[in-house]
Amino acid sequence: TGGRSFDVTTEELAKHNTVNNCWMAVRGKVYNITPYFEYHPGGVDELMKGAGKDGTQLFDEVHKWVNIESMLESCYIGKLKATPVPVE
Ligand code: HEM
C-alpha cells in the first residue's frame, strides 16, 4: 500500500497475461496477481482463465464472497479504464 496508482487500459492489461507477469481486473480494479499464483486454492489453470483480462464474471461465478480487495491490497495497480483513450 501507499504506492502510487494509475489507470490501466484494457490494452495494457492484455499485455500481462503470463504466469510470470500476470494482471487481472476484478470489479474495476486491476491487480498484479503474479505473486498470488502459488497461493490460489483453485490452482494456476483456473487463475490463468482471467489472465490479462477482466475476470469479474469468472471470479463471481466461483467465489463471489471472496474479499479480493483486502486479500490483494498490496497487489493493487490501479483502476481499469473501461474505454481505452485513443492515442493520436
Ligand atoms: C478458490 C481466491 C480468481 C477459480 C478460491 C479461494 C480463494 C480464491 C480465496 C478459496 C475459496 C473458498 O474456499 O471459499 C481468488 C482470487 C482471485 C481468484 C483472489 C483473483 C485474483 C479466480 C479465477 C478463477 C478462479 C479467475 C477462474 C474461474 C477458483 C476455483 C476455486 C477457487 C475453481 C475452487 C477451488 C476448490 O475449492 O476446489 N479462489 N481466486 N479463481 N478459485 Fe479463485
Instruction: Report how far Cα 81 is from the mean position of its chain's Cα atoms.
Output: 13
Tell me the one-letter amino acid at 67: N
Atom 43 in ligand 1: residue holding the nearest Cα: 42
The DSSP code sequence of the chain is --S----EEHHHHHT-EETTEEEEEETTEEEE-GGGGGG-TT-HHHHHTTTTSB-HHHHHHHHTT--HHHHTGGGEEEEEESSPPPP-
Ligand 1 contact via 27 beta carbon (within 6 Å): no
pLDDT in tens, 34-70: 999 999 999 999 999 999 999 999 999 999 999 999 9
Ligand 1 contact via 44 beta carbon (within 6 Å): no
Q: What ipTM, to 2 d.p.?
A: 0.93
Give the global pTM: 0.89
Ligand 1 contact via 66 beta carbon (within 6 Å): yes
Q: Which of 3.40.630.10, 3.40.50.150, 3.10.120.10, 3.30.365.10 is the CATH number of 8-81?
A: 3.10.120.10
